[in-house]
Amino acid sequence: MSWKTLDDMDLAGQRVLTRVDINVPVENGRVTDATRIERIVPTINDILARGGKPMLIAHFGRPKGKVVLDMSLRVVLAALREALGRSVRLIETLEGAENLTEEARAADVLLLENIRFYPGEEKNDPDFARRLAGLGDIYCNDAFSTAHRAHASTTGIAQHLPSCAGRLMQAELTALEAALGRPKRPVVAVVGGAKVSTKLDLLGNLVEKVDNLVIGGGMANTFLAAQGLSVGTSLCEHEMAGTAREIMGKAAAAGCEIILPADIVVAGEFAANAPHEVLAVHLCPDDAMILDAGPTSVKRLARVFDDAKTLIWNGPLGAFELEPFDAATNAAARHAAELSKAGQLVSVAGGGDTVAALNKAGAGDDFTYISTAGGAFLEWMEGKDLPGVAALKITAA
């Protein structure tokens, strides 16, 4: 581990600039899902317990360097106060943060207004980063979900202050290191979703690092078509057939087995409870679409999971939004969850659709780790260096 955690820092009497991700969904002025807020609570409580004064730095939406009142962090204050059980005060300007009032000093936690209101944030302007750093004594990054962005508040500040990972960032990095850095083998990866073209780097990296690569969803159709099989009217990137064959060749050379559906669930339309049937993978009718993997495929996945020690999951196996085409995803997810709960499997999952699918299956709580990060999780799986993580390794002092 080449980055520091809160355990390595003396926080007593220190101002701790804490980058968090509380970019939560809001409707009619109320937070509708406080998950991201709840997940930063351990870090804030730890800083306070160690005698530090946290000033939270966060973004909300994409105001593009301008003040947009509808994107003020004021909307999250009530949810933040409730989650923390502490007094939280919004600091509306950098000038206000540099010259705190007595009321602000008395608050347990300070929240700086939307950092993306400032053009210097996304430009990673050195002067802006230096000014931000002047607001604190220590920098703590607890926003893995923004670690793929080289912004002033994710990388720039770390050049000027002693820096560390917060508890959420620490948990993310530890889980991902266990899954891809030094995993227990065999390692199996499940990659689903609509398009091969959006996950080329991911697939190319995984075939060299895992023992089994399960491909599902619309992506599987492209690989099936690349093998000369008919996929009817299914979602399929036929133009990516050559790329799919290259990936299969790369996997074979690396000793990675690619697992595709052996049987399929087909229907005439993309709709919930549409008339459907289970067929062998080579029997897809020309006028039907593949919407899920079949029961034989699920049984095979269960055996693969049984033999595995580590599982990485990104993307559903079928049209999980529609019943009954969520069956393969649900069954596979529940089996992985059972193995994880029993201590037989280390399971790490991430990505928006993935989290939704696992929660819909009732399996999310029993996975070893569920990442709420989207782009950062994918880029890590692709083998890319994340600027926000790299900055913690080259921190000032």
Structure tokens at 328: 């393969």
Output phi, psi for 392, to 5 deg. -70, -20
CA distance 193 to 294: 17
- Name all domains of the chain by residue range, CATH numbers in brackets: 6-166 (3.40.50.1260), 183-381 (3.40.50.1260)
> What pLDDT score does 396 carry?
55
Q: Is the pLDDT of residue 141 over 60?
A: yes
Asked whether the beta carbons of 89 and 147 are under 8 A apart, the reply is no
Residues making up the binding site for substrate: 21-23, 36, 59-62, 116, 149
Q: Is the pLDDT of residue 20 over 70?
A: yes
pLDDT per residue over 80-115, tens digit each?
999 999 999 999 999 999 999 999 999 999 999 999
Residues making up the binding site: 21-23, 36, 59-62, 116, 149, 199, 321, 351-354
Q: Is the pLDDT of residue 255 over 90?
A: yes
Residues making up the binding site for ATP: 199, 321, 351-354
Q: Is the pLDDT of residue 271 over 70?
A: yes
pLDDT per residue over 288-327, tens digit each?
999 999 999 999 999 999 999 999 999 999 999 999 999 9
CA distance 334 to 320: 14
Asked whether the beta carbons of 24 and 76 are under 8 A apart, the reply is yes
Task: Give me the active site residues, please.
Answer: 36, 195, 352, 375
Token look-up 């993997």 returns 293
Output phi, psi for 239, to 5 deg. -70, -10
CA distance 345 to 347: 6
CA distance 258 to 264: 17
> What pLDDT score does 218 carry?
94
Instruction: Name the nearest CA neighbour of 149 among 396, 386, 348, 390.
Output: 386
pLDDT per residue over 24-45, tens digit each?
999 999 999 898 999 999 999 9
What count of residues does the chain have? 397
Asked whether the beta carbons of 232 and 189 are under 8 A apart, the reply is no
> What pLDDT score does 205 carry?
92
> What pLDDT score does 397 carry?
55
Q: How many CB atoms lie within 10 A of CB 68?
A: 15
Beta-bridge partner residues of 276: 267
pLDDT per residue over 328-376, tens digit each?
999 999 999 999 999 999 999 998 788 889 989 999 999 999 987 878 8
Helices assigned H by DSSP within 229-312: 241-254, 295-307
